[in-house]
């Protein structure tokens, strides 16, 4: 077992991100300590994650009650949330207890929100099994579910007690999932780590077995931990935690309009990153060469830079109008001064946004 720790520094709510391989024994020790203390805990996972890693899962969670939910973005729903609440109640989880969450971003967001809201807040631990969850959604305490009208519109800030990032779990990812996670890695390079972006752009494509990957995951987690520590609840008037949403105003609109499940989150983010780069150039930031650099890198990982099939412009614009970053009815975007340096931009004209959607293939 090889481990390294980062810390998300939030005062009394600080917690570690444990990174390494072979972390099953580390997690099982935590489970055993909690169980021996008498605190009631349960496990939430999704069917595919548990089935892909049966030995790891059993080694970590033997003896704990388990709820396996259906995989996929459609499970981030009010109906599924109620099922988790009822499961926690049936298992007599009290306020001394909590939840271990094993899976990708969907189960992590859903389970985190269930923990935030059940009994007005119980503890939870994140064990992400996808690259996207490892570098992004498992860290920072953003939890939530989707509505038909928009992505992540209902949720809460609720920090985990710890995050365990075992890169060995990536070896069983379905083929589409790894590139989708790389979209978030690329995002971190674009918003705050130009050296990482350059490394990705100038070297052979990374895969799950690449020895460079753990270092890249660590860089992403470290950057996010610093941003969250400085602006936990996205309250900053400019910059701050909102910068982590580079490309996401576009991406969430795509997911809501296409129907949850047509695009993996990272695939929609890839299109959003391309559009955010184009928007940056239109606003006088950077130059056209950066658009080509971003698109070329995304395509190297098999990620889309335009819509797979046309989507109605009116529906995309309507979905954007319900985005969480809207302020006083005006769209708010994250753009780049240059690759590696992102800023927030308020008051972007709808006409310009519509032009960009046209470039992406809207109708």
Annotation marks residue 265 as catalytic: yes
Distance CA 50, CA 129 (A): 10
Residue carrying structure tokens 């060995």: 168
User: For residue 237, what are the contacts with CB-CB under 8 A and spacing of at least 6?
Assistant: none
Annotation marks residue 152 as catalytic: no
Annotation marks residue 234 as catalytic: yes
Catalytic residue among 79, 120, 148, 328: 120
Catalytic residue among 48, 224, 325, 332: 224
Annotation marks residue 282 as catalytic: no
Catalytic residue among 30, 245, 285, 290: 245
CB of 322 within 8 A of CB of 149? yes
Catalytic residue among 48, 76, 158, 241: 241
For residues 104-121, one letter each, b for 16 or more C-beta atoms within 10 angstroms of the residue's C-beta and e for the rest, the string is bbbbbbbbbbbbbbbeee
Annotation marks residue 238 as catalytic: no
CB of 333 within 8 A of CB of 348? yes
Annotation marks residue 92 as catalytic: no
Catalytic residue among 76, 142, 218, 219: 142
Annotation marks residue 248 as catalytic: yes
Annotation marks residue 252 as catalytic: yes
Annotation marks residue 47 as catalytic: no
Three-state DSSP state, 121: coil
Q: Which is it for strands 142-147 and 332-338: parallel, antiparallel or unpaired?
A: unpaired
Burial of 166 (0-12, 13-18, 19+ CB in 10 A): buried
Annotation marks residue 232 as catalytic: no
- The total number of residues shown for the chain amounts to 363
Q: Which is it for strands 41-46 and 341-346: parallel, antiparallel or unpaired?
A: unpaired
Written as six digits, the tokens of 261 are 């499940």
Written as six digits, the tokens of 223 are 């950057």
Catalytic residue numbers read: 120, 142, 184, 224, 234, 241, 245, 248, 252, 265
């Amino acid at each position: 077992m090889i481990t390294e720790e980062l810390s998300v520094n939030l005062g009394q709510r600080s917690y570690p991100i444990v990174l390494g391989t072979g972390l099953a024994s580390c997690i099982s020790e935590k489970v055993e300590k909690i169980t021996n203390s008498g605190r009631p805990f349960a496990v939430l996972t999704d069917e595919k994650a548990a089935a892909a890693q049966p030995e790891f899962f059993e080694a970590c969670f033997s003896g704990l009650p388990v709820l396996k939910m259906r995989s996929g973005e459609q499970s981030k729903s009010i109906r599924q949330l109620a099922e988790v609440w009822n499961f926690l109640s049936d298992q007599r989880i009290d306020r001394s207890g909590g939840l271990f969450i094993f899976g990708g971003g969907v189960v992590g967001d859903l389970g985190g929100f269930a923990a935030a809201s059940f009994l007005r807040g119980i503890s939870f631990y994140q064990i992400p099994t996808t690259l996207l969850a490892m570098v992004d959604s498992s860290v920072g305490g953003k939890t939530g579910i989707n509505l038909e009208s928009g992505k992540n519109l209902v949720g809460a800030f609720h920090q985990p007690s710890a995050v365990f990032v075992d890169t060995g779990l990536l070896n069983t990812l379905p083929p589409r999932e790894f590139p989708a996670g790389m979209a978030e890695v690329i995002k971190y390079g674009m918003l705050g780590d130009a050296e990482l972006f350059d490394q990705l752009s100038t070297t052979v494509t990374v895969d799950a077995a690449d020895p460079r990957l753990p270092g890249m995951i660590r860089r992403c987690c470290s950057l996010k931990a610093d941003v969250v520590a400085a602006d936990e609840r996205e309250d900053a008037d400019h910059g701050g935690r909102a910068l982590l949403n580079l490309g996401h105003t576009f991406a969430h609109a795509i997911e809501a309009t296409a129907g949850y499940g047509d695009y993996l989150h990272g695939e929609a983010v890839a299109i959003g990153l391309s559009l955010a780069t184009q928007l940056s150039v239109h606003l006088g930031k950077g130059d056209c060469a950066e658009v080509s650099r971003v698109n070329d890198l995304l395509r190297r990982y098999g990620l889309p830079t335009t819509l797979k099939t046309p989507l109605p412009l009116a529906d995309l614009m309507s979905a954007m109008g319900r985005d969480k970053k809207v302020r006083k009815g005006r769209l708010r975007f994250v753009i780049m001064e240059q690759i590696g340096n992102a800023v927030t931009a308020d008051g972007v004209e709808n006409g310009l946004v519509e032009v960009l959607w046209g470039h992406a293939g809207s109708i």
